Amino acid sequence: MNVLLLGSGGREHALAWAIAASPLLDKLYCAPGNAGIAEVATCVPLDITDHAALAAFCKENRIDLVVVGPEAPLVAGVADDLTAAGIKVFGPSREAARLEGSKGFTKDLCRDLGIPTAAYGRFSDAAAAKAFARKQKLPVVVKADGLAAGKGVVIAETYAEAEEAIDACFGGTFGAAGAEIVIEEFLDGEEASFFALIDGKTALPLGAAQDHKRAFDGDKGPNTGGMGAYSPAPVMTPEMTERVMAEIIRPVVAGMAARGTPYKGVLFAGLMITPEGPKLIEFNVRFGDPECQVLMMRLKSDLLAAVLAACDGVLDNFSLRWHDDAVLTVVMAAQGYPGTPVKGTEIRGLEHAAQVEGVEIFHAGTRRDGSRLIANGGRVLNITARGRTVTEARDRAYEAIARIDWAEGFYRKDIGWRAIARERSAS
């Protein structure tokens, strides 16, 4: 079959790598893709916000399935528009994508379904929001309702900071995404990213990962899309996984079906594992980036077969197999990220780096200039390695990084520290 993948990051390179390995695949296209994706797929310069152009491309190239990487096209209804044009799509409808597109919608749904999450209020005017914030314990969390590329969350340590965040949000910092605000209780615990594959009624666990959100070592510096990840996540024991499925995932799948907006695709639950149990921080309607990269290297089953089973509503007859290995990825970013990254610098030594045992290099923001590889984004490379333990995977990833010649890049040197400390104290 022919597949079109939408997106251009490290997540999409990992998805392309997994789909390219499927015996079901004839031809893989990716729009718009990047230099790494071009090694496993044909990249096409389509505008992915132009759904009519996507549908026309699919017809011309006999595309049997479209796989959507990022959230924005889903929230904009790409699955609805392509489905209406008779094209099979992996990813939720516009209505189902509200699980990521509106934090207020999701909080109300959790309340109605009894899903454990932080206590909250929803506001569309600053005075009421500030009055509510002042009554909360500190720190208090202020969030823009809509999509804000991961920048719409402020954990305010003082009421003055909360008020500043409220004013910034209503002042238009996040455009339409900030026209409504959610204010919520701060949850204390260990974070984990949990993934499930969903066909509208059945949910299959895809495993868990832990991400490092801050830019610098020691979990310092600004928030980013994620500077590294590893899987499995030690905090997600089999018992905790079953609790998350029973208390969060299965209720939301049933709740979305009952509203007449069944959820199909990957559901990503951002969790806080608290002393009382798992609590939902947020849902995302897609794979995490860079969590996807580690999950794809752990997946033994055919990703394309699993995705088709989810599209066709037959996951109840499906099971997934996983490698026992741990996988860890380190993000190499361009200096300036997450602000304004330096673009256009040359990266050398990737071929030599990729020879380290167990290593795959996924490209997140690269382009080719003749034979030169050029950095073309904030997050640029994901150096991903498998090992028997997180410690071994970490050592391999950093050995590969040492072979890469890119003075204008930076990366965290402590990815996996929590799991590695656990492994050290267990041995």
Q: Which of 62, 63, 59 is CA-nearest to residue 6?
A: 63
Binding segment (CB under 6 A) for ligand GLY, from list 73-81, 155-163, 251-259, 283-291: 283-291
**Within 200-219, which residues bind ligand GLY (CB under 6 A)?**
211
Binding segment (CB under 6 A) for ligand GLY, from list 28-36, 106-114, 284-292, 360-368: 284-292
What, of ligand GLY, ligand AMP, none, does residue 168 touch, CB below 5 to 8 Å by kind?
Answer: none
What, of ligand GLY, ligand AMP, none, does residue 291 touch, CB below 5 to 8 Å by kind?
Answer: ligand GLY
- Tell me how far apart the alpha carbons of residues 61 and 2 are, in angstroms, rounded to a whole number: 8
Residue nearest to ligand GLY (CB): 226
Alpha helix ranges (H) inside 227-317:
238-244, 250-258, 291-298, 303-311
Binding segment (CB under 6 A) for ligand GLY, from list 13-21, 100-108, 197-205, 285-293: 285-293
What, of ligand GLY, ligand AMP, none, does residue 225 touch, CB below 5 to 8 Å by kind?
Answer: ligand GLY
Alpha helix ranges (H) inside 259-335:
291-298, 303-311
Q: Which is nearer to ligand GLY, 51 or 412 (CB)?
A: 412
Look at residue 150 and give its three-state secondary structure.
Answer: coil
- Tell me how far apart the alpha carbons of residues 313 and 308 are, in angstroms, rounded to a whole number: 9
Q: Which is nearer to ligand GLY, 121 or 288 (CB)?
A: 288
CB of 9 to ligand GLY, least distance (A): 9
CB of 108 to ligand AMP, least distance (A): 16
Q: Which is nearer to ligand AMP, 113 or 155 (CB)?
A: 155
Nearest 10 degrees: Cα torsion 157, 158, 160, 165: 20
CA 103 to chain centre: 16
What, of ligand AMP, ligand GLY, none, does residue 308 touch, CB below 5 to 8 Å by kind?
Answer: none
Return the ∠ at Cα 117 (arms to 290 and 104), rounded to 5°: 85
Whole-angstrom distance between the N-terminal and C-terminal Cα of the chain? 47
CB of 53 to ligand GLY, least distance (A): 26
CA 190 to chain centre: 18
Q: Which residues 6+ apart lie within 8 Å of 234 measured at CB? A: 418, 419, 422
- Tell me how far apart the alpha carbons of residues 291 and 368 are, in angstroms, rounded to a whole number: 25
Q: Does 288 bind ligand GLY (CB under 6 A)?
A: yes
Q: Which is nearer to ligand AMP, 53 or 119 (CB)?
A: 119
Q: Which is nearer to ligand GLY, 150 or 336 (CB)?
A: 150
Provide the CB-side half-sphere exposure for 244 (13 A, CA). 32
What, of ligand GLY, ligand AMP, none, does residue 226 touch, CB below 5 to 8 Å by kind?
Answer: ligand GLY
**Within 14-53, which residues bind ligand GLY (CB under 6 A)?**
none
- Can you give the binding site for ligand AMP, defined by CB under 6 A? 118, 141, 150, 153, 155, 184, 186-187, 191, 213, 270, 281-282
Length of the chain: 427
Q: How many residues bind ligand GLY (CB under 6 A)?
A: 8
Cα separations (Å) of 369 from 344, 346, 372, 373, 376? Answer: 10, 9, 5, 6, 11
Q: Does 293 bind ligand GLY (CB under 6 A)?
A: no
What, of ligand AMP, ligand GLY, none, does residue 25 touch, CB below 5 to 8 Å by kind?
Answer: none
Residue ranges binding ligand GLY (CB under 6 A): 150, 211, 225-226, 284, 288-289, 291
